[in-house]
Structure 1
Amino acid sequence: MEKFVVNGGKPLFGEVNISGAKNAAVAIIPAVILCDEPCQIENIPNISDVSLISRILQQMGAQVRRINKSSLYIDPTHISTHSATTELVRGMRASYYLLGALLGRCGKAQVALPGGCNFGVRPIDQHLKGFEAMGAVTQLVDGAIIEADADNLHGEHIYLDVVSVGATMNIMLAASKAEGMTIIENAAREPHIVDLANFLNSMGADVRGAGTDVIKIRGVKYLHGITYSIIPDQIEAGTYMCAAAATRGCITVNNITPKHLESITAKLREMGVVITEYDEAIKIDATKNPLKRCNIKTMPHPGFPTDCQPQFAALLVSVPGTSIINENVWDNRYQYVSELVRMGAHISVEGRLAIIEGGSPLTAAPVKATDLRAGAAMIIAALEINGVTEISSIQYIERGYEDVIEKFRALGADIKKVYYAGDNEDELRA
């Protein structure tokens, strides 16, 4: 068993470099299945989700080789199966992108239902609606495996009943090699959707309108190999920005796209944090002004991202006054609240609302990461506390944050990973 031990109470100062976007990587790597030649993907985050999807592709027959810490070489030409049903697949939320990729490549797909973070129902009905409109017959087998089979995968006009990032990207994958044109209306607009479209287009696909609510994909017969660099991770950047504000520090976040962070920087500015933007960096200074309360409502992009909601909750518990969070994306994303309450936070949850009475000092307590972003929130809260906090279930955090210990240490945090078994405890060296 492993856990993080944080000795908090110190403001963060310095610079941090942001890795490639997890949410882009876990779709772009499966997208290589569609390619007829090898590809090299750069600026890959070195996280467990990337390792997992790489191993899944290897199980399917692809050659996957790590060139360096942030680059992968993938040769999909030897994939001869349309099936991905192993335990590795079940353990990963984003494994559903294999459906669209295999359907586009083989005309059929058999994929185990995904796992990953457990903070609400994760329906894929909009994904299946899109595949069925394009001529596929889908069915659930034994309650655990989705099968899709299309004699003739063809373009179609698809309207998504709800804005869904996963469905938008999955349909884009299948449509890239389908016959004719597919039009997705009410499409999601997140930066990683634009990144996936840019990746596909670089290989020779014809995807237009990504970043708007109408995306048009004209299917092509052949996709050629390329070298492609993934965009920076806006949520990782937002996490370090929150941590700097929560500790009343001052940091510079490098290797980012400031436009992708507009909803996050707007809220921090509203709270009194001084923000300075550069071409590919942003400075967060929380040393100049007392922080003020604020309200947050999560929305699909370009609204405030649900993936930064727990981190802001950890920040707002340190700010005097009543702040209200309105979670509009996931039904059950407040599981982390009980962990913050364990640390002394005053938070009440009423349906989709979390009401935070901020300003009371937190106290150290053993807590756990209930999901990826909740784990990041635990680190932020621990950094605020004058005392030692132990965080367990850190496998969730390592799903999506590269070198999280090293990056926080470089900013002056006292944080380490330890191995524990019974009463024995040893620090794990990087």
Structure 2
Amino acid sequence: MEEKFVIQGGKPLIGEVEVRGAKNAAFPILTASLLTKETCVIDNIPLIEDVLKMIKILEQMGAKVSWIGKRKIEINSSKVKPSKIPFNLVGCFRGSILLLGGLLARFNKAKIPSPGGCVIGARPIDTHLDAFKQAGVKVYPEGRFYRFEKKKQDKSLEIVLKEISVTATENMLLFAATNPKKTVIKIADQDYQVQDLIKVLKKMGVEIKHSGVRELEIIGKKRLKGFKHFIMYDPIEAGTFIIATLATKGRVVIKNAELSFLSLFLKRLKDFGANFEILDSKTIRVLPSKKLKIDKIQSLPYPGIHSDLQPELGVLATQTKGATMIHDPLFDARLRYLNELNKMGADIIFCDPHRAIVYGPTQLQGIEMPISDLRAGAAMIIAGLIAKGTTVIHNVYQIDRGYEKIEQRLHQLGADIKRRVGS
């Protein structure tokens, strides 16, 4: 049965909330367990659909997984077989692309379908394919599948990514982890999930250093150790609660917030007139702001403002005075959510697929809407929280892919939001 969120807007968020583990850090760390035959212990696992699906994929491939705590697993991949990869699950979400690096590093071969994920425009895997080809991997397109074969001899490699890509950087890190010769990755991403993966690979015995601007140097080992690791907290989820509190003019203390990865985001919020206090390195208190004025929202690779937070900032812009330029150069359909905001009464003009201008402030009105991707879903929840009347959001499974029981946690902060089953 379809599930939906029903929101009665107009209530400020008040209280305390704790951020969960980072979804996008969990994927490569789970994949890293493929690189060793030793047992790995992974803690702070976010209990969300995509991460649990990734664990299920590893289990179906032969990994032994034991839950030893609410968010903690032991995983042993000594009996994993690439031939057992469940294509029906792998094709469902984009994080599964990271299996490539792990499987090729250990087994020298892999076959996967084109991965799924959020509908936010063209997201080809060309950058991954190009990087693997540079590394000497043979790539064979076979219908909707790709088959990969790696030469068994090790050699020094220099891989220049054709664009800054989080998952391509992670795939190359995983791929290089078992190569005892030096691998250099240029145009490497440096975002939070890449940094967390690097910590794990170092625990396994891989030597990694930053050798230049967006450049990583890796010297791997044939036999890697098991590891124990606590997945970092999700800075995107922290950003979501910060924006939701500002939009509703609430008072919320957000704990487990990885603020070091939100430096520019927080700096720009201050520029906009946001009222908040940094209590310590992982705690922020967000307070009502008298006047917000946003001139421009531009998403860029780290250390820029994350594209995942752009839709939520777009909702906030509808409540601020004047014109706000939104520019997302990364994804050509990331601005689709603005169509729903216009239906709610916002005043937004599209310039092109990557740019739009929001005029505010406007009183949003609750409507019934579907959502097509995870981050648009989070943005529409915030829109519903500040709208007049009832907002109904369908396709909430998209939101469940990235946020753990978001409606329960917002309800604890005073939001009138309920999950309903049925049409």
TM range (shorter): over 0.9
Change in Cα spacing, 1:210 to 1:336, as seen in structure 2 (3 Å) is: farther
Q: 1:373 aligns with which of 371, 375, 395?
A: 375
- C-alpha contact (below 8 Å) 1:405/1:415 kept by paired residues: yes
Distance in 2 of aligned mates of 1:72 and 1:91: 23
Please say which of residues 1-10 and 68-77 is displaced more in the overlay.
68-77
Post-superposition shift, 1:210? 8.8
Gaps of 5+ in 1: 422-430
Could you say what secondary structure the match of 2:380 adopts? helix
- TM-score normalized by the length of structure 2: 0.96
* 1:143 matched residue in structure 2: 144
Taking the aligned partners of 1:120 and 1:139, their CA distance within structure 2 comes to 25
After superposition, residues 8-47 of structure 1 pair within 5 angstroms as: 8-47=9-48
Is the aligned partner of 1:396 residue 2:392? no
Q: Distance in 1 between matches of 2:83 and 2:105?
A: 10
Separation (CA, whole Å) in 2 of partners of 1:349 and 1:129:
33
Tell me how far apart the structure 2 counterparts of residues 212 and 34 of structure 1 sit (CA, whole Å). 27
Q: Retained in 1: the 8 A contact 2:272–2:293?
A: yes
In the TM superposition, residue 148 of structure 1 has moved relative to its aligned partner by: 3.4
User: Residue 148 and residue 308 in structure 1: after superposition, are their counterparts in 2 closer, same or farther (change >3 A)?
Assistant: farther
Of residues 258, 279, 282, the one that matches 2:281 is 279
Q: How far is the alpha carbon of 1:217 from its aligned partner?
A: 0.8
Structure 1 SS opposite 2:301:
coil
| 1:358 counterpart residue number | 360
CA–CA distance in 2 between the matches of 1:132 and 1:360? 51
- RMSD across aligned C-alpha pairs, in angstroms? 1.5
Aligned to 1:233: 234
Letter aligned with residue 390 of structure 1:
V
Cα distance between partner residues in 1 of 2:392 and 2:400: 16
**SS of residue in 2 equivalent to 1:335:** helix
Distance 2:31 2:84 in 1: 13
Describe the shift of the 1:143–1:221 C-alpha distance in structure 2 as closer, same or farther (beyond 3 A): same
The Cα shift of 1:165 comes to 0.9
Q: Distance in 2 between matches of 1:61 and 1:19?
A: 28
State the secondary structure of the residue aligned to 1:15: strand
C-alpha distance in structure 1 between counterparts of 2:55 and 2:32, whole Å: 12
Which piece of structure 1 moves more, 222-231 or 204-213? 204-213
Partner Cα distance (1:386, 1:68) in 2: 42
Partner of 1:340: 341
What SS is found at the alignment partner of 1:100?
helix
AA aligned to 1:145 is Y
Per-residue CA deviation, residues 78-125 of structure 1 (Å, 9 max, x unaligned), is 102256351100001111100000000101111121001111111222
Q: How does 1:202-351 map to 2 (within 5 A)?
A: 202-209=203-210, 213-277=214-278, 278-285=280-287, 287-351=288-352
Could you tell me how far apart the structure 1 residues matched to 2:179 and 2:397 are? 38
Residues 260 and 113 (structure 1), Cα distance of their counterparts in 2 relative to 1, 3 Å cut = same
- Do the aligned residues in 1 keep the contact of 2:57 with 2:86 (CA within 8 Å)? no
Structure 2 equivalent of residue 419 of structure 1? 421
Partner of 1:424: none
| Partners of 2:332 and 2:289 in 1: CA distance | 37
Aligned: 1:406 with 2:411: no
Aligned counterparts of 2:245 and 2:345: Cα–Cα separation in 1: 21
In 2 relative to 1, CA 210–279 (structure 1 residues): closer, same or farther, beyond 3 Å?
farther
Tell me the percent identity. 37
Alignment coverage as a number of residue pairs: 420
Gaps of 5+ in 2: none
* 1:247 and 1:383 in contact (8 A); partners too: yes
**Aligned residue type for 2:222:** K
Q: Is the deviation greater in 319-328 or in 371-380?
A: 319-328
Question: Hey, what's the Cα distance between the residues in 1 that align with 2:194 and 2:324?
Answer: 31
* Structure 2 counterpart SS, 1:109: strand
- The alignment status of 1:183 with 2:192, answered yes or no, reads no
Q: Look up the SS of the partner of 2:384 in the other structure.
A: helix
Cα displacement (A) at 1:153: 4.8
Contact 1:188 1:212 (8 Å CA) reproduced: no
Native 8 Å contact 2:62 2:84 kept in 1: no
Measured in 2, the distance between the counterparts of 1:257 and 1:363 equals 33
Q: Which AA in structure 2 matches 1:195?
A: D
Task: Encode CA deviations 1:314-362: one digit per residue, 9 max, x unaligned.
Answer: 1111112110111111121112111111211111222211110121101
Q: Give 1:212 deviation, angstroms.
A: 5.2
CA displacement at 1:391 relative to structure 2: 0.4
The 1-side partners of 2:185 and 2:130 are apart by 11
Read off the aligned partner of 1:194 and give its amino acid letter. Q
Q: What is the alpha-carbon distance in structure 2 between the residues aligned to residue 315 and residue 29 of structure 1?
A: 34
Give the match's secondary structure for 1:284: strand
1:65 CA displacement = 2.4
